[in-house]
Amino acid sequence: MDNKIVARPLVTITNVIWSFNTELHRPQLLLIKRADEPLRGKWALPETLLRSHESADAACIRLIEDKIGLQVPISSTEQLATFTDPNRVAGNRVLSLAYMTYLPSTPKLHPGYGATDAQWFILSADQHQYVISHDRQQFVLTTPSDLAFDHVQIINTAINRIKNKLDYQPGILHILGDSFTLRQAREVFAAFLGTTPDKIDNSNFKKTHNHLFKEVGTASLQHSGRPPKLFKLNC
């Protein structure tokens, strides 16, 4: 048994950044294509090395600003988990402190340092497995080697966290902005539950989640008809 102590492992901040695609009505997450070795050319979650003078929370916020040019409050993020497998990165020992961030808008993307491309990948479920896709690029989240390092595991951990909290703390709904319709909320829920919004009964959904939502008005319509009610999260 190797009892050697790892005195100074590298620490990365890895961020699962979520937003909502208003055209496809589905949640999406940000991936970047790595510009440098190791695993140059692989798609990966945005990440940065923790600097000596900053906290992990501060590094998470800096990462968002560096990668997509947005300044967000720490309340838009939450710690996800720590990933410490000795073999997660070849060479130096690297630990990952993973976060999730919920963006209420989808800014135009520009690859930042260390990346040649940055794209939003739509989340969907196919035959009881999650898939993320952009144009013709698709990753099934049961194949660890498709993305860099252990990022498939990190994404699956994020999906399971969100799925398990849907009925009591659905922070993922922050990707819809300050207010949302029940239809939009069902669209988000459906993506993580592996179903369609129409299979989630609206009346029952409102009844079982009423304690989580607060009515704040009605949506404006571009056509005739009864406008849907708007809600926001109580939590």
Contact 198, 41 (CB under 8 A): no
pLDDT in tens, 38-79: 899 999 999 999 999 999 999 999 998 888 778 888 888 999
- Residue 125 to residue 193: CA distance in whole angstroms: 8
Q: Where are the alpha helices (DSSP H) in the chain?
A: 56-68, 151-165, 182-193, 202-209
CATH topology of domain 10-165: Nucleoside Triphosphate Pyrophosphohydrolase (3.90.79)
Six-digit token string for 106: 């989808």
CATH topology of domain 178-233: Arc Repressor Mutant, subunit A (1.10.10)
pLDDT in tens, 147-174: 999 999 999 999 999 999 999 999 999 9
User: Which among 120, 145, 143 has a CA at the least distance from the CA of 130?
Assistant: 143
What SS3 class is residue 128? coil
All structural domains of the chain with their residue ranges: 10-165, 178-233
Residues 6+ apart with CB under 8 A from 212: 168, 170, 233, 234, 235
Q: Is the pLDDT of residue 1 over 60?
A: no
pLDDT in tens, 77-100: 999 999 999 888 887 889 999 999
